[in-house]
Amino acid sequence: MGFAPLVVPGRVEVVAAVTGEGSPNRTGTRFGFLATDLGILWDDGAGGVLAAFGDTYGEGWREPGAGARTEDHRRNVLARCTSAAHGLALDEVIEDAPGHAAEILPADPRRWCIESTVIPTAGIAVDGVQYMHYMSVRRWGRPGRWRTNYGGIARSEDGGRTWTKDRRARWRNSLFGGRPFQMGGFARDETHVYLFGTRNGRYGPVYLARVEPAGVGEPGRYEYWTGSGWSGRMRRSRPVANGPAGELSVAYHSGLGVWLMVHLDDPGGRLLLRGAHDVTGPWSDGEPLLTGREHPGLYGGYLHPHALDADHIYFTVSRWDPYNVFLARAEVALS
């Protein structure tokens, strides 16, 4: 179709904290971490939901934010969760010791690779295998800007307990940090898995690639949206949606009959909701879900995969201070 549907959020509320010792999940006592971010959600293919978190800190951590800290730091952690009437329940985490969440994606082992951290950006389950898109962060810059070494895909064949980072499953960045798919957002339909991608940082547009389900972990099998068709050459890819776009999440909402995209507009200090009839767009300009005026330091924004068929959505959102994740709910309608 040639027009973008206007998806309008109605009442939006933050339901409850997901992480932190003060949350219903008491992640300090139960899982050994007091602070984390992101909360990327995806269906595990067996009726459950997995939640991936970014830089995570335990005993000794003090607010605000992350950064150059050593308080029981883990680059990432993974939880299994269920929805609850008053929040998102973290049932268990992948552990390296009883009561201590494990780092699931380790650092790049190559001595010459300068790497600050390894952060998940998306996840999807295909035919019993879990795939996670992640970014290898080379260095942090000014707020909202950083440089990656590459975006990659890790895989797990045991439900997320152990992961493999294949060196061939990467989108290497350019010298000046201009290549897309450094951060990602997975979605799928009956025939393809789609990977929406951005450059490093939060200031670029959104690109789109697709692959048959059997090839999710093989970048060489992806095709890229050129603006008028698909090509096997990434250099021919063109933006599918304008930015500036930070962390993003995309899913089909069967209740509305449209695709939804949630992402951060960092310069505008707001989390946006966009709609499209097709993954290739056109995408609407976006309506604010949450703003930094009411929720200072907000970022992230990841759709809950089991809440995409009614007149509302659930999504996770992070705040830099207190550097933890919250579950939010928004009514949605077409205008």
Sheet containing 164-172, strands listed edge to edge, beginning at the edge strand earlier in sequence:
117-126, 129-140, 146-156, 164-172
Which tokens sit at 159? 């439900």
Q: What is the pLDDT of residues 317-331, one digit of tens each?
A: 999 999 999 999 999
Provide the pLDDT for residue 85: 57
Q: What is the pLDDT of residue 84?
A: 61
Q: Is residue 198 part of a domain?
A: yes
Residues 165-170, mean pLDDT to the nearest whole number: 95
Number of structural domains the chain divides into: 1
Q: What is the pLDDT of residues 24-65, one digit of tens each?
A: 999 999 999 999 999 999 999 998 999 999 999 999 888 888
Domain that holds residue 67: 7-334
Inside any domain, residue 1: no
DSSP labels, 124-158: EEETTEEEEEEEEEEEE-STT-EEEEEEEEEEESS
> Residue 103 falls within a domain, yes or no?
yes
Domain for residue 155, yes or no? yes
Mean pLDDT (the chain, rounded): 95
Which pLDDT score is estimated for 221?
Answer: 97
Percent of the chain with pLDDT over 90: 90
Is there a domain that residue 266 lies in? yes
Encode pLDDT of 254-304 as tens digits. 999 999 999 999 999 999 999 999 999 999 999 999 999 999 999 999 999
Six token digits for residue 295: 């929720």
Cα 6 to Cα 26, 69, 78, 187, 332: the distances in Å are 38, 42, 34, 20, 10
Residue 306 lies in a domain: yes
Return the sign of the alpha-carbon dihedral for residues 220, 222, 227, 229.
positive
Query: At 78, which CATH number?
Result: 2.115.10
- Residues 6+ positions from 157 with CB-CB distance below 8 Å: 128, 129, 130
pLDDT tens digit string along 188-235?
999 999 999 999 999 999 999 999 999 999 999 999 999 999 999 999
